[in-house]
Amino acid sequence: MEKARGPSRVIDKESRRFHRLDRRNAEVREALQGWLAVRLSIAGDHLFIGKREVLTPAGVWWIAAHYAQRAGLEDVHPHVLRQTFATRLLWEARADLVTVAELLGHESLNITARYTRPCEKDLEAVVERLRYVEGVLRVLLGRVWG
């Protein structure tokens, strides 16, 4: 991340070639800029570091599970965080599935659809919006034909 605006380039860890653009909101970009300014120089191009070296995927998994457990949450790992991000994009930000797929770097909408399972609260909210729309239509139609 060389600048605080726009997307960052994500490099594939296997081929070391450009993989996709990673878009973040302004608040996250500012926080990352602050972190990059003070982190240890041992990280090189890596964003996350441990106490003495580059943080491994297993280390990230351990940290996520450790703090989730301290917060009283069960079965939380980094992939759950990614799934939560995708689901919140779809249900709270009301992004369409194609946009969510693009932000996650998925080539297939089927993969993205598996990430974005609605919870009971999401399903109830959709039904409530439908009830609201039906009510508005009744009022409007009643005025036209009533």
Q: 43-52, 53-62, 119-128: lowest mean pLDDT where?
A: 43-52
Domain around 127:
76-146
- Judgement on whether residues 96 and 143 belong to the same structural domain of the protein: yes
- Judgement on whether residues 46 and 86 belong to the same structural domain of the protein: no
- Judgement on whether residues 42 and 93 belong to the same structural domain of the protein: no
- Judgement on whether residues 27 and 93 belong to the same structural domain of the protein: no
Using alpha carbons, list the distances in angstroms from residue 24 to 5, 68, 85: 9, 23, 12
64 domain residue, yes or no: no
Domain's final residue, options 24, 55, 86? 55
- Judgement on whether residues 49 and 87 belong to the same structural domain of the protein: no
The 8 Å CB, 24+ separation contacts for 34-41 are 36/1
- Judgement on whether residues 127 and 83 belong to the same structural domain of the protein: yes
Number of domains in the chain: 2
99 domain residue, yes or no: yes
Q: Is the pLDDT of residue 11 over 80?
A: no
- pTM greater than the 0.85 cutoff: no
- Judgement on whether residues 85 and 141 belong to the same structural domain of the protein: yes
Other residues' Cβ atoms within 10 Å of the Cβ of residue 100: 22
86 and 100 Cβ atoms separated by less than 8 Å: yes
100 and 89 Cβ atoms separated by less than 8 Å: yes
65 domain residue, yes or no: no
Q: Is the pLDDT of residue 17 over 80?
A: no
109 domain residue, yes or no: yes
What is the rounded CA–CA span in Å between residue 131 and residue 122? 14
